[in-house]
Amino acid sequence: MGRFAKLPYAAELHGILAGLLCTLALCAYASQAAADAGTVEHLSGTLSVKGADGKIRILSRKSVIRSGDTVNTEQDSYAQIKFADGGRVTLKPNTTVRLDRFKFSEDKPQEDSFIYSLLRGGLRAVTGLLGQRSKEAYELKTATATVGIRGTTFTADDCTAERASPECARLKAAVYVGVTDGEIVVRNAHGELGIAAGQFGLIEREKPPLFMSTDPGLHVTPPASFIASLSGGTALNAGRTLECVVGQP
């Protein structure tokens, strides 16, 4: 009789263990979700990412981007990444961007951090909530200067690399920035420059940032398929995530 009396306790123990395992699984999921910096919102062409673990993935629409990832667009490819704070970054063809650190929690502004590096190519950025409430925590690093923001929409193009875009052939070897809305602050060891809406600047190596009197012409001009995805909610790689792991060095 005593042996059978223990059965309810065994069932109770089983229930506790099952609940604990479920809680651990939820915690792991929450931790993973917190690590997700953003997702691929729109895509035309080929987009790949090299993670902090060295794995290389070919991405599709809805693919996840995380801190430590290095994202790369191929020739004739455009991609837009939507970050957890609502900000967006559109990558031009032959562009490489490394997401050095992204941390955002709606109820913890003191922990905000959005630091990324333009290693090649060009981009257009629209800041989200993080950039609006924690301007000092938002920073884009480039080959010749660091870009800080004051809540804005801006472009940045690196024309210093050997594999710079064809548009760079007629321009000086420099990083070019332009502002559509708000203001950015460009700084390096040689100086600092505030650039407001409608203004353009260039930063050469080992020189202070300078204003430009005219638009350098480094526009973001995606193909019709990409524009259609922005306006109509469809994309070349629409639907479920179709990414795959292609290799590891």
The three-state (H, E, C) secondary structure of 56-114, written as one string = EEEECCCCEEECCCEEEECCCCEEEEEECCCCEEEECCCCEEEEEEEECCCCCHHHCEE
87 in a domain, yes or no?
yes
With a cut of 80, say whether residue 249 has pLDDT above it.
no
Q: What is the CATH number of the domain that holds 115?
A: 2.60.120.1440
**Quick one: pLDDT band at residue 7, thresholds 50, 70, 90?**
very low
6 in a domain, yes or no?
no
14 in a domain, yes or no?
no
20 in a domain, yes or no?
no
Task: State the pTM of this model.
Answer: 0.80
18 in a domain, yes or no?
no
- Give me Rg for the CA atoms of the chain: 23
**Quick one: pLDDT band at residue 224, thresholds 50, 70, 90?**
confident
pLDDT tens track for 75-129: 999 999 999 999 999 999 999 999 999 999 999 999 999 999 999 999 999 999 9
Number of folded domains in the chain? 1
DSSP 108-151: -GGG-EEEEEEEEEEEEEE--HHHHH-GGGEEEE-SS-EEEESS
State in Å, rounded, how far the first CA of the chain is from the last one: 63
Candidate ranges 28-32, 149-153, 157-161; pick with highest mean pLDDT: 157-161
2 in a domain, yes or no?
no
Structural domain range at position 85:
36-247
Give residue 166's pLDDT: 86
117 in a domain, yes or no?
yes
128 in a domain, yes or no?
yes
